[in-house]
Amino acid sequence: MAFEGWGYGVVIVAFLITACLHEQVATPVCGFWTPGRSPLWSAQAGSTFASDGVVWWPTFPSGPTLQMSTFEDAITYIDANHTTVPVTSRAITHERLKLHANLVPHVYRRWLTPSKMNASAIVHHGHVLHGKTKPLRGNYISHRSVWDSTLAVKLTLDEFLHSEHKYWSRCYDSSGSDPKVSGWVDWVLEHVSPDIIPGIRTRLSVCLRVALEQSRMPFHFDAKHNILIQIHGIRKVLLMMPDTGPTVYPTAISRGHEPPGWVSTLDPRHLNYTEHPYAEKARMLVVTLFPGDALYIPAAWWHYVENTPSVDGYNNNFSIALNIFAQAQQSKSLSKEFHAQPCDPDSWAVRETLTYMLSKFQHRFFS
């Protein structure tokens, strides 16, 4: 009985501390995701324009200093399978929470084991997963094809794997009308621990991407936090700060009833600095993902992706990845612009640490 009373006391104290910290950081909220509107990035982005060489990005006080590379160096690095973002473990730590709070991209190595999530397990559901293809020019998805659904062909994953098309994707959520698809989403989320996204309370969608040959996606950004999980094959990613987007010459692509999507018109492997002189000022981080690895891409970060397929045990040659798109706990402002980060990252990280410890304690002693 004494232990039980002590246990309830710990829960009450932790709850009160967490609630106080929540009030401390809930208002005001900083970090607009809209490029060009965030004070978070203005000084850091300005430093990249002022440099003619490598930029060393001091992520935050006491945080890691990262190398921001030119296009030429970045391509060399991804060809050599390098990674220049912080690499963390599966465990929730204060350091990892600080990376998340300060919107620093980082990699979780070997997050998923093949026995939990692999190519065969994904393909097994192929008959219920409907998606759309994306046309390739050579091995490149043109900037218009990223968002323009009129260029796509609707196929199930099974149909796609037996077609002449080379790239297929689809986003799903667990509230869909098809119970089989909803069940697949629930199955995915069961295998992707909620610990992977500190501070996230609502998962909005799970996106599946399959490529049957080498393919490349141009720079673009998403308005939600993104966890990119590599299931099969190798994936290379270049990452740029939100306010440095003008260096990749983006253009707006219509998405029907949704706001337009912004996509770069440059091909990083075929640059022409005479036509696009600002591209020389672009500075970026580099990531290489192997099966089981996951990458946290903060809202509004520009990212370019290369897929390299590999052969599975059934002689299928493909690359498979999942995106978990999620909105942060912070709500939208009155102007309906999504806020990506709290004003006080230190308090946010402490609060999330306590929230995590509390959930583990409740699961262990009261479930």
41-55, 58-72, 104-118, 218-232: which range is least confident on average?
41-55
Torsion-angle region of residue 41: left (phi > 0), alpha (psi -120 to 50) or beta?
alpha
Is the pTM here over 0.85, yes or no?
no
Q: Identify the pLDDT of residue 75.
A: 96
Question: What digits encode the pLDDT tens for the residues 210-256?
Answer: 998 889 999 998 877 788 999 999 999 999 987 777 888 888 887 77
% pLDDT > 70, the chain: 65
- H or E element: which one contains 23? helix 2-26
Higher-confidence residue: 360 or 180?
A: 180
**67-71, 144-148, 253-257, 327-331: range with lowest mean pLDDT:** 327-331
Higher pLDDT, 65 or 150: 65
| pLDDT tens digits, 127-142 | 888 898 888 887 888 7
List beta partners, residue 230: 321
Can you tell me whether residue 60 is helix, strand or coil?
coil
Q: What gap in Å lies between CA 110 and CA 230, rounded to an integer?
A: 10
Give the fold, CATH level 3, of 41-336.
Jelly Rolls (2.60.120)
Structure confidence at residue 179 as a pLDDT band (50, 70, 90): confident
245 CB contacts (<8 Å, ≥6 apart)? 35, 36, 219, 221, 262, 264, 302
Q: Of residues 101 and 336, which shows the higher confidence score?
A: 101
Mean pLDDT of 292-317: 82
The b/e string for 304-340 (b: 16+ C-beta within 10 A; e otherwise) is bbbbebeebeeebebbbbbbbbbbbbbeeeeeeebbb
Going from N- to C-terminal start, the domains of the chain cover 1-28+343-367, 41-336
**Could you tell me whether strands 250-255 and 339-342 are parallel, antiparallel, or unpaired per DSSP bridges?**
unpaired
Helix (H, G, I), strand (E, B), or coil: what is residue 122?
helix
